[in-house]
């Protein structure tokens, strides 16, 4: 393998991303806060950062509440959310 190896935050530091860029982040929720911190350093607006919030969904129609985070249902409202939508939801990052 001749490509990059390591954690995503080291790769973000190596890039030159303009603030107009839209970024989609997919991975374990604990990673999101570290990636968002790096993107903040690159002055990417929170509305341009999108997170794929994967949750185990039982019903998929918002009835069971298994994927509910405050007023958001991953099965109905997502699974992709802008960081602006979920930055105050602790459940999104654990």
Q: What is the pTM of this model?
A: 0.86
Q: Which helix (H) or strand (E) holds 37?
A: helix 29-41
Compute the radius of gyration of the chain from its Cα atoms.
15
> What is the model's pLDDT at position 46?
96
Are 83 and 51 in contact, with CB atoms under 8 Å apart?
yes
Domain ranges of the chain: 8-93
The per-residue pLDDT for range 52-83, each reduced to its tens digit, is 998 777 888 999 988 898 999 999 999 999 99
């Amino acid at each position: 393998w001749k490509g990059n190896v390591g954690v995503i935050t080291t790769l973000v530091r190596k890039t030159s991303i303009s603030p107009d860029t839209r970024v989609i982040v997919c991975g374990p929720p604990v990673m999101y806060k570290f990636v968002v911190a790096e993107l903040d350093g690159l002055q990417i607006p929170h509305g341009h950062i999108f997170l794929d919030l994967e949750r185990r969904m039982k019903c998929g129609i918002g009835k069971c509440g298994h994927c509910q985070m405050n007023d958001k249902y991953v099965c109905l409202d997502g699974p992709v959310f802008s960081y602006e939508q979920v930055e105050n939801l602790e459940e999104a990052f654990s």
